[in-house]
Chain A
Amino acid sequence: MGEIQLLYNYLVVGALLFGIGLVGFLTRRNMIVMFLAAEMMLQGVSLSLVAWGRFHDDWGGQVLVILILTVAACEAGLALALILLLFQRSGKLDIAFWQTIREDNQPKFIDQELPDETRDKPHWPQLTPAGIEPPGKGQELDHRIHV
């Protein structure tokens, strides 16, 4: 692969990562997934910077990516602290809960259809009971905290 082709390929991969991160940031409502998408945008930019640095034989691209790494670490710490604070006040990670801080002329976003939280019935294997009954109530075996 020649240098121009390498540059072109890396720029397109960087653009794809940036675009996917952009779509994720605009679309998702979970604050943590929004932040993951923002970090993905930074990854796309890092790839483009390193590609240009290699193409022009310049160290500046890689130095900028090191600084991006530093800033992303700071941003992650502060953003996660903020998310924890917001969760303590509202009880959920939904960004639509805080939509009152928008400008005044924006229409209020109301969820049109809220899907009910159905969960698939868990298929636990039916083993022959043997030995001592395990501690705990019976319905605890059917309910499992879903990760």
Chain B
Amino acid sequence: MMHYQWPYALAALLLACGLWMLLPHPGRTRVKLGVGLTVAGLGLLTLLVHFGLLLRFQAGLGEQAPQLYVEWSPGLARGEAWVFDGIFLALAGITVGSAIAAVTLRSPVYCAIWFALTLLGTGGLLLYEGAQFLGVATVVVYAGAILVTFLFVLMLAQPQGDSYYDRLSWEALLSAVAGAVMVGTLTMTMASALDAPGKAIGEKATSPQVAKERRERILGTEHVARLGGQLFSTHLISVEVAGTLLLVALVGAVAMLAGENPAVEGVDPGRNGKTFGAAGRMSQGGVRG
């Protein structure tokens, strides 16, 4: 039976149309239609990918090759695995849905908040995968530090009211088509690679020996200790270089802003007497009284 590829293209096309409709355009946007098309595309993609609607190996190897299934816990029956599948689907749905919202909303503060939800979803997905340290680090560093810095900058640089450049998007159709082509191509390639898992993936990666090793190494206990051991033994130079990079970035950021900020220099703001932003408004408001 030939492996059909048009359903993946259809899902990508639905996603492209939905995303194009949701992106900001001048005038009234068709939000309901855009959301409906995006949900339809994502639902079709879920059916194809998660439930393996067209993959031959899903149906062929389900019962005959039980060693392909890694047991979540020693006593868990296969019938109860739908709970874990449901958790993955919920996390993935939250992540992708809030990613679409973060990219298509008009107010940048709302985009930042939906991006925070995307980061929480990504942290949950990383926890689901067994990367405990990375799940927590994503939430702490990204949502706790980087996003808060974003919100600070938005607070300092936010114009009054909706600005025209937040409600325009350039080349929305081409970008949506490019994104859909990329996602569709990747999904189709993965599907055709998994269609014959013996050749493409290799039986070594799914043998029970490797599954046992996986349970002892990367999925074993003391995850953070093992990760730290790897970081500081095999990847020590990378860690030191990353620390130096952080120092350079800190020095660079301070050097960039210290020379420009008129409050630091103590001179009149601006080179020709005119400034923009909060400092300018305050000074101009003070002049007019």
Cβ–Cβ < 8 Å partners of B99 in chain A: 16-17, 20-21, 40
Inter-chain contact B214/A37, CB cutoff 8 Å: no
- Convert A12-37 into 0s and 1s, putting 1 for each residue whose CB lies closer than 8 angstroms to a CB of B: 11011111111110111110110111
> Which residues of chain B from 247 to 268 have any CB-CB distance to chain A below 8 Å in the complex?
248-250, 252-253, 256-257, 260
Q: Which of B23, B134, B246 has the most CB of A within 10 A?
A: B134
Cβ < 8 Å to A, chain B residues 163-180: 163-172, 174-176, 178-180
Contact A43 B122, beta carbon cutoff 8 Å? yes
Q: Which of B111, B168, B172 contacts A36 (CB 8 A)?
A: B111
- A76 and B165 contact, CB distance less than 8 A: no
The yes or no answer to B187 lying at the interface (CB within 8 A) is: yes
* Contact assessment for B197 and A4 in the assembled complex, using a CB-CB cutoff below 8 Å: yes
Stretch of A46-54, A100-108, A123-131, A132-140 that contacts chain B: A46-54
Asked whether B138 is an interface residue with its Cβ less than 8 Å from the other chain, the reply is: yes
* CA gap between A12 and B157 in the complex, in Å: 36
The majority secondary structure among interface residues of chain B is: helix
A23 to B104, CA, bound (A): 10
B54 at the binding interface (Cβ < 8 Å): no
Q: Are A70 and B246 in contact (CB under 8 A)?
A: yes
Chain B residues whose CB sits within 8 angstroms of the CB of A78 once the complex forms: 249, 252-253, 256
| Contact residues in A for B169 (Cβ distance below 8 Å) | 27-29
Residues of B within 8 A of A71 (CB): 242, 245
Inter-subunit contact B178/A23 (CB<8 Å): yes
Within B190-237, the residues touching A (CB, 8 Å) are 190-191, 194, 197, 201, 205-206, 210-211, 213-214, 217-219, 226-227, 230-231, 234-235
Pair A40/B102 contact, Cβ less than 8 Å: yes
Contact A115 B27 (CB under 8 A): yes
Interface size on B (CB < 8 Å)? Answer: 116
A77 touches B250 (CB 8 A): yes
**Given the complex, which residues of B lie within 8 Å of A63, measured CB to CB?**
227, 230-231, 234-235, 238
Q: Could you tell me the distance in whole angstroms from the C-beta of A142 to the nearest C-beta in chain B?
A: 14
A11, A24, A75, A119, most chain B CB atoms within 10 A? A24
Report the bound CA distance from A109 to B170 in whole Å: 9
CB distance from A18 to the nearest CB of B (A): 8
Chain B 120-160 near chain A by CB (<8 Å), digits 1 or 0: 00100110011101100110011001100110011011111
> How far in angstroms is the closest Cβ of chain A from B119?
7
Contact of B277 with A by CB under 8 A = yes
Q: How does the 8 Å CB contact mask read for A61-88 relative to B, with 1 for contact and 0 for none? A: 0110111011111111110111111011
A3 to chain B: which residues have CB within 8 Å?
A: 68, 70, 205-206, 211, 214
- Asked whether A17 and B142 contact (CB < 8 A) given A57-B214, A63-B230, the answer is no
List B contacts of A54 (CB < 8 A). 129-131, 214, 218-219
Sampled A-B contacts (22; CB under 8 Å)? A4-B68, A9-B50, A12-B45, A12-B187, A18-B182, A19-B180, A19-B182, A20-B19, A20-B96, A22-B175, A27-B103, A27-B169, A29-B169, A32-B112, A39-B115, A40-B103, A46-B138, A73-B146, A81-B257, A93-B108, A109-B170, A114-B26
Nearest 8 CB-CB pairings of A with B: A91-B276, A24-B103, A74-B249, A94-B165, A23-B179, A26-B175, A115-B26, A19-B183
- Extra contacts besides A15-B183, A73-B141 (12): CB < 8 Å: A3-B206, A8-B194, A12-B45, A28-B24, A28-B103, A36-B103, A39-B115, A53-B218, A54-B219, A87-B157, A95-B165, A117-B162
